[in-house]
Each structure stands twice: as structure tokens, then as C-alpha cells.
Amino acid sequence: SQQGEEDPQALSIQEGENATMNCSYKTSINNLQWYRQNSGRGLVHLILIRSNEREKHSGRLRVTLDTSKKSSSLLITASRAADTASYFCAPGGYSGAGSYQLTFGKGTKLSVIP
């Protein structure tokens, strides 16, 4: 399926350390997006990487995409307590019915300890 599967399911690090989350998917995509969800809130878009891109940066975020391995990673550098949240990857592509959609997984729960 197009659904992204994040790994690990949970990650706990000290403030200042880097956090790396991985995502795998199974079908072809047009792009892949990462979202963050704070506890009890809606998802917030972080970054979008197109299928013809290999790496993208946004502030402390670095996303890589390897379409040959159908995988992506999200790196958060110099983590802060405020980065504590769940992170979801969402492969984007066309469904069997021909409509574009994102497919989310269960996310990686990141805890940054002050």
C-alpha cells in the first residue's frame, strides 16, 4: 500500500541531541510529506519532498528520500523540549480511483527530555 510506516514507534532523547525517524512505503509516489502532531492537537505540515528530490532542509529539519528503497528519513538537529510530539510521514500519490491522496501511518512518538 501507499501507507507510510514509521520507525521507531517511540524515541526518547536528551535535549540538544539529534533525532532520526524513518519511513518506508510500498508503492510509487509523487511526493512525501512529514507532519507533526502535538498531544491533543491536529497535524501540522513540516516539509514536502518531491519524488525527484533526494534531500531537503528546513531550519533544523533535514529530510531524505530514496525512491529506489521506498524510504525516507526525518532528522531533527539540536532537539528541544518543544519538539516533543508525534511525527508522521505521508506518501502522496494517486489512488486506484485516480485521485491524489496522502496516506498516514501510526507515527513516531518523540520525547525530548530537558
Partner 1 sequence: DTAVSQTPKYLVTQMGNDKSIKCEQNLGHDTMYWYKQDSKKFLKIMFSYNNKELIINETVPNRFSPKSPDKAHLNLHINSLELGDSAVYFCASSPGGNVAKNIQYFGAGTRLSVL
Residue nearer to partner 1 on the CB measure, 44 or 78: 44
The interface with partner 1 within residues 37-66 (CB under 8 A) comprises 40-45, 48, 50
Question: By CB neighbour count within 10 A (0-12 exposed, 13-18 middle, 19+ buried), where does 89 fall?
Answer: buried
| Piece in contact with partner 1 (CB under 8 A), picked from 11-19, 28-36, 58-66, 68-76 | 28-36
74 binds partner 1 (CB under 8 A): no
Q: Whole-angstrom Cα distance, residue 22 to residue 39?
A: 21
What does the alpha-carbon distance between residue 78 and residue 62 come to, in Å, rounded to a whole number? 12
Least spacing, CB of residue 94 vs partner 1, in Å: 8
Secondary structure (3-state) at 98 = coil
List, in order, residues 6 or more apart from 13 with CB less than 8 Å away: 19, 79, 110, 111, 112, 113
Q: How far is the CB of 104 from partner 1 (least distance, A)?
A: 4
Q: Which of 15, 53 has the CB closer to partner 1?
A: 53
Stretch that binds partner 1, among 15-23, 60-68, 75-83, 89-97 (CB under 8 A): 89-97
